[in-house]
Chains A and B, each alone.
Chain A
């Protein structure tokens, strides 16, 4: 059987902007037309803090594809080869049902971002709140970039990725985080660590699990490139193809 597995791969993502509307949503602009314009000074300040966040952050990620040692069932997720990571739960079983291989990823904005959050907590709670929201939007972009890399690795292997599934959602607990991070060599190469309660530090970090399949996955079938979150980071389109085949 051919191996789909890859070595842990570090990526640094040059992300120069974030969606302002997304930042405002994180700040609690719920359901309103996003055109605050309530105050020029405050608007300018929001823009300044967002720019600062983009500036000090060092978005980076690790991705790695694992072969499957034992196929999963409806209740049991597959066993990954070459790692001590053991997944459990219905939700992740469903997410990986029928997968040929499994990709893990971890992204972070780095400790420089965390240090700036700490600095702002001491100097300006408002700036800290804006910076935090901007970081939330930015780390999602970093996750999009890592996902784009996984989609490309899948495409090289004739496979199709499904969505990102993060520990802490559904019935997949945070206790998988230590083995997940170690499997990516993320503590050493990304500087991501865990608190005793398995929270990621830097706080603007994410981990996710994607299944790689023989068949095009449903969400990609109906997702056009121009609405795809990974579009900016896509390397498949540059080859004149798309991840949909």
Chain B
């Protein structure tokens, strides 16, 4: 490709040097010398050092000690270890700063010294800066060519599984990065990371605060994943896009075990790959630790990796100067260089922390469009109310239907897009591992979401307007995102294909200049309705063809459904247009993957496109479907079930009836089949009495709730809503049924799973009511704030309470777990909430409950408080100052009724 020509034809927009949030995105790297620069270009090998911790343990360091303190107490011994590595041939030695972050140092006992040493070290906890100064001095004193400042994990797990925030982790790392540069390190090694989000925080902290090159290595288990499920492919893709200067693997496994994982990384990395394995497993004999893999065996395993393209090597736990000396020999013998980038065009890639989505040039991919409120009433309602259940179901169903990326859009005028977009991305990431496409025109919102995103997201979108290019392109570059570029500029959407190409050229010239690889850019030629201009379809297809031909390497993306706007039988037009677009080079289709016709078009195209995996794709799916349709046709030929009758059967009798369709007479309407099935609890017996004379659908719904069967509930509710209003269904059927379930739970004839299954069934009913009536019909009975208190991460009990309260018609504001007391009170005050529920599972967190209640009394005296949780009892509840103690979820609902009505 000839980038110069492209740029000449469409000058790039000059970009600012900071992202909208003020993060510096372009910083000239400073290399200590030309060899180091060449090493990071992958042209020359680089030899690091081996283990530090194991060398210290051999000198008597106790387990649980803070080894970084030895840089101050025993600098001579630390320098001695570095010097041994330098003598063995290490070009770079790694400072003894693995855990030297503010949190770990504050918690460390400040008495570290090696046994028998004269040095004494008793002081207040040293600062990060002091440790880095001492550690870098220790390393420099050994006379190495380069000093690499070491940064390990914070020691705390990041949200959502842990409690540390991304920004908090970033601040810890930034402090280390600044100290490393200030005291003269030549490069930084971020190592032993298991969490891609934490690695990203560390990498950004170094990138944004220093000019030092960075090596990023993560640690993998035998299953080929980190503890948080990241694969070598995902790590290599996301980290090299983010600007790591080398990526790789360290710790946990021996060299033979990491070899296949390193190979998987090489295939996806755009930068040199690093291998620093352990020397096998530790063994202890009479107090002396040794590792199972000696230098020769270690290097034998390393040789294949070096031949395969690993160009930066060293060692981790258990490796010694002896290992490094052998590695020196290996490099001298076979040389080492980064594997040249694979010939041909690179695949388009995006990734979540757990899943890589890659698309070789010529293959087609599906982006799910459903999470976008435009024109979708239920989604709007979900975003307005903050109850995201519906959104999450949309995410899951699109995943199951074959989406490979999910578009996330929270653009509603009446909601705070920045807050909601972040929440959507977090929660959707909790229920699916699909990579996400952040869909917003608000640069601040985009940056706030892509910055902490664990993976390589896609941004939708930038356009040809100067303002948009200046705001969005730096974000995509800085955070290593794929980017959608819309063919629209100050002049609107060009009508012709050539006009669209001109805008595309301008976008690509700017992304080229910013250093964004072409395979990360997808041009959207923008679909216009053919109902207003029949030539629109042709223009789009021509534009796709032109973009692919004129801007080699760039991808195209298209939302197709607009094409049929204003015309009847739209799926037909959409699917046909999609196939046509594929045939002229469309790479990524933004569609509803649940639309069968579109999904069929994709599957069929993949066959013609030669990318169908015959073993399990088209043949498997469609042979099954053919059989199913044949079966259905046969069943349709049988006598139809009398309308309305089947509703009165239980699930099971319905199933039996289905199996024997046409041969068995249905049982009489009005029978109460649940009574027998509900078993020991026999829930329907009394209900049958209370409801005697009630119409069949009322009893049916009541019985379904009692039996905890959600499946048929929506259908029955629809039947009831045909003749009754929503309040009747809620107040006369669902709530009494829930009360009855609560009574049985109270009496010990129902257990928790039954209570919850009933709540689920009732919930299905409420959702159906909400979906089919105006909001005004279903008034909230009041707001209740819920949280698991600060310090506690157990949320099962709270979630059960939430479910039940929602069913009784309360609007629950769930603040989650580990909730800061003041944050809880702020929400209560802002939303004027009259009832709060606090949960704690551990005795150690009961004080946090007391503190939250104390703040509530001061700042929100109107708010009543219920407490609950495994360790609580009425006495504790009184001690912490609560108004109510609820021994279970059912009682919470009763108390809510008392307080809020």
Contacts and interface: CB of A to CB of B under 8 A. Distances in A.
Interface string B666-709: 00000000000111110000000000000000000000000111
B229 interface: yes
B290 to A, nearest CB: 9
Interface stretch (A92-100, A107-115, A236-244): A107-115
Interface in A38-67: 38-42, 45-46, 58, 67
A39 B708 contact: yes
A24 B219 CA distance: 37
Given A39-B707, A201-B161, A191 B227 contact: yes
Interface string A121-148: 1111110111010000000000000000
Nearest to A132: B796
B284 A7 contact: yes
B792 A27 contact: no
Contact of A122 (B286, B430, B709, B791): B430
A119 B431 contact: yes
Interface string B738-760: 00000000000001111011011
A89 interface: no
Contacts of A187: 153, 155
A29 B751 contact: yes
Nearest to B353: A115
A125 B800 contact: yes
B831 interface: no
B63 A39 contact: no
B753 A197 contact: no
A76 interface: no
Given A84-B64, A110-B227, A191-B227, A41 B396 contact: no
Given A46-B753, A82-B63, A188 B282 contact: no
Contacts of A197: 790-792, 842, 844-845
A189 B554 CA distance: 42
Contacts of B736: none
Nearest to B152: A188
B793 A39 contact: no
Contact of A191 (B194, B393, B677, B709): B194
Given A125-B799, A187-B155, A193-B157, A5 B284 contact: yes
A240 B524 CA distance: 72
A42 B393 CA distance: 21
A201 B427 contact: no
A203 B430 contact: no
A189 B63 CA distance: 14
Contacts of A226: none
B679 A83 contact: no
Given A174-B844, A195-B793, A114 B63 contact: no
B165 to A, nearest CB: 12
A198 interface: yes
Contacts of A180: 64
A183 B62 CA distance: 8
A235 B681 CA distance: 45
Interface in B125-165: 153, 155-157, 160-163
B427 A115 contact: no
Contacts, number: 178
A111 B229 contact: yes
Contacts of B678: 38-39
Given A6-B284, A38-B754, A121-B795, A193 B162 contact: yes
A191 B163 CA distance: 15
Contacts of B161: 111, 114-115, 118, 201-202
B752 A112 contact: no
A194 interface: yes
Contacts of A39: 677-679, 707-708, 754, 757
A36 interface: yes
Most chain B CB neighbours (cut-off 10 Å) among A7, A24, A112, A203: A7
Category for how many chain A residues contact B: 35 or more
A61 B124 CA distance: 35
Most chain B CB neighbours (cut-off 10 Å) among A2, A122, A194: A122
Contact of B251 (A7, A188, A194, A195): A188
A38 B227 contact: no
Category for how many chain B residues contact A: 35 or more
B289 interface: yes
A182 B104 CA distance: 12
A41 to B, nearest CB: 6
B160 to A, nearest CB: 6
Interface string B8-22: 000000000000000
A148 to B, nearest CB: 20
A68 B219 CA distance: 33
A212 B107 CA distance: 30
B768 interface: no
A interface secondary structure, majority:
mixed
Most chain A CB neighbours (cut-off 10 Å) among B160, B161, B651, B802: B161
Contacts of B580: none
A235 to B, nearest CB: 18
A96 B2 CA distance: 75
Contacts of B844: 168, 174, 197-199
B752 A201 contact: no
A36 B431 contact: no
B564 interface: no
B109 interface: yes
A195 B154 CA distance: 12
Nearest to B681: A38
B680 A38 contact: yes
A179 B64 contact: yes
A245 interface: no
A90 to B, nearest CB: 18
Contacts of A194: 155-156
B794 interface: yes
Given A111-B228, A115-B229, A28 B679 contact: no
B293 interface: no
A8 interface: yes
A196 B194 CA distance: 19
B847 to A, nearest CB: 10
Closest 10 CB pairs of A and B: A191-B227, A197-B791, A84-B64, A38-B679, A7-B282, A126-B756, A7-B284, A182-B64, A179-B64, A183-B63
Interface of A: 2-3, 5-10, 12, 24, 27-29, 36-42, 45-46, 58, 67, 82-85, 110-112, 114-115, 118-119, 121-126, 128-130, 132, 168, 174, 178-180, 182-183, 185, 187-189, 191, 193-199, 201-203
Given A5-B284, A193-B156, 16 more contacts: A27-B753, A38-B751, A38-B754, A58-B223, A82-B287, A85-B63, A121-B430, A121-B799, A129-B756, A129-B796, A178-B64, A183-B64, A193-B162, A197-B844, A199-B791, A201-B162
28 contacts: A3-B286, A28-B751, A37-B680, A39-B677, A41-B708, A42-B708, A82-B63, A83-B63, A84-B64, A110-B227, A114-B161, A118-B160, A118-B161, A122-B427, A125-B796, A129-B753, A132-B796, A168-B842, A174-B844, A180-B64, A187-B153, A188-B192, A191-B194, A191-B228, A195-B818, A197-B790, A201-B161, A201-B793
Interface of B: 62-65, 107, 109, 153, 155-157, 160-163, 192, 194, 219, 222-223, 227-229, 251-252, 281-284, 286-287, 289, 388, 392-393, 396, 427, 430-431, 651-652, 677-681, 707-709, 751-754, 756-757, 759-760, 790-796, 799-800, 802-803, 818, 842, 844-845
